[in-house]
Amino acid sequence: MEMGKKLVPICLLMLLIEVVLVSAAGKNIQEVNIWPMPKYVSNGNKILYLSHDFELRTVGSKYGDQLGILKDGFLRFMGIVTLDHAIDGNFSRLGQSAFLKGINVVIQSPSDELHSEVDESYNLTVPASGKPAYAHIEANSVYGALHGLQTFSQLCGYNIRTRLIEVGMVPWTIFDYPRFSYRGLLIDTSRHYLPMPVIKKVIDSMTYAKLNVLHWHIVDSQSFPLEIPSYPKLWDGAYSAAERYTMADAAEIVRYAQRRGVNVLAEIDVPGHAGSWGVGYPLLFPSADCKEPLDVSNEFTFQVIDGILKDFSKVFKYKFVHLGGDEVDTGCWESTHRVSRWLQTHRMVGKQAYQYFVLRAQKIAISHGYEIINWEETFNSFGDKLDRKTVIHNWLGGGVAEKVTAAGLRCIVSNQENWYLDHIDTTWDRFYMNEPLTNITNPKQQKLVLGGEVCMWGEHIDASDIEQTIWPRAAAAAERLWTSYEKLARNPRQVARRLAHFRCLLNQRGVAAAPLVGPGRTAPEEPGSCYVQ
């Protein structure tokens, strides 16, 4: 499944397919240091520099930028290409023909709405000359334009000898769009609280690799850090008063992410993984000795879920909400006399009550305007009963996406043996080679795979080590999700040098990405340059 093919004429596509084999400079495309690799790339062998008054222009654009999304994106671009270096080279020595005056961004849509199928395609050209010379981005949406700026930033570098920002290998022609519309990263703020600046920094780093969904696993058995105005005692389940998020905090995360082209997917995992809920409301427990799953026999349980989702709908504007549904042990219901009696009255056993709970929670979410994502156990247990708009989130292993799409449901792939970041022994090459469409050959079924997600579960992760556990392995998955299938390497050794370069780029931008060599979150083996480790 490949998204957004509107910008490039057929004749240009034919030309780009030809030049991608051998660039204008005779360079093999593998030598181009862009991550993730764009759809089509051609380049030359000349050098230009950014002028001292490098500017953003929008001549011909239909996008008014009333919220300043493009302007802020341009300022971030300037920040990550200058890297706080003093740009104090001798501009007059080189002459005007050696400089890019600015970048002109043309956006076809006036809308700044971010949604699950927003067009993220872009064209980027950097000329070798001009009077004056301007780089050029054309995109259908502002979010495609932001991706174009991210790619352009990787063509730029600080030259320590000239003390100027250099753009090498010009002219450039790049046409690009994502293979999958859903390219996610899960963070877990229940097992360990993550401060607001840490979450924002994670969002910033996601944009460098063109990931576009932050799956916020907000609460779990261990803690309930989020304020829920409808039921204010829920966050009594937080670790401490200092380790909480207000609803205004959540709205700020959504706003911050949206301005960078990142959707925020909120999750409440029900009926299991909810032991922290009863700290403030003990009636949610089946009994004092039996705290999970949530009490299926109590109407108050579903009132609370309704209140949470009502409050969510005011802040989390992504069309999906994640309702969990995994690892539900119904033995607690069956061993609690009061709940067991309710089961008998309703002629249910534990498995049937699990289905009843999940389906009722789905109806509540739908009433608040959401489409639902559930973990795969719901499909494995009663897939034919789920709402037909349900997205199944695969995590247990391979082969699930094939079954889900054959049943006509949508799927997100996060199979734990390859895409769980907390599995430290899973090396980057396995992240890279994990193919979401394995054994799915029917084009209609392929379209039902929305994409994939790498999961940063928080049992052993907090603010001290989250970045080096995410990166660079998440970047390996990001290329799998962004880059067209025919451009992906068949052997990960073919992209190791380019990914290592991207890891160094992350370090330069202040992201604590670990070395490629060894398992996740490894340390440098010895003194040496980042580029030769």
Token pair, residue 417, equals: 């043996």
Give the integer Cα–Cα distance in Å for 167 and 81.
Answer: 10
Catalytic pick among 113, 327, 417, 525: 327
What CA–CA distances, in Å, run from 306 to 82, 205, 296, 313, 495? Answer: 48, 34, 14, 11, 47
Partners of residue 138 on adjacent β-strands: 106, 123
Token pair, residue 331, equals: 């033995």
| 467 classed as catalytic | no
Give the integer Cα–Cα distance in Å for 156 and 70.
Answer: 19
Instruction: Tell the residue number behind the tokens 């890891």, with chain if given.
Output: 503
Q: Name, in order, each residue with C-beta under 8 angstroms of 196's C-beta and a sequence gap of 6 or more.
A: 245, 249, 252, 253
Partners of residue 382 on adjacent β-strands: none
Instruction: Tell the residue number behind the tokens 């956006």, with chain if given.
Output: 107
> At 8, which amino acid appears?
V
Token pair, residue 135, equals: 């780089």
Report helix, strand or coil for 58. coil
Pairing of strands 449-456, 410-413: parallel
For 304, what's the count of Cα atoms within 13 Å in the CB-facing half-sphere?
Answer: 26
CB 421 within 8 A of CB 474: yes
Partners of residue 372 on adjacent β-strands: 321
Token pair, residue 250, equals: 């959540």
Report helix, strand or coil for 391. strand
Furthest C-alpha separation in the chain: 88
Residue 388: CB atoms within 10 A of its CB come to 9
Report helix, strand or coil for 284. helix
Question: DSSP secondary-structure letter at 290?
Answer: B
| Positions marked catalytic | 327
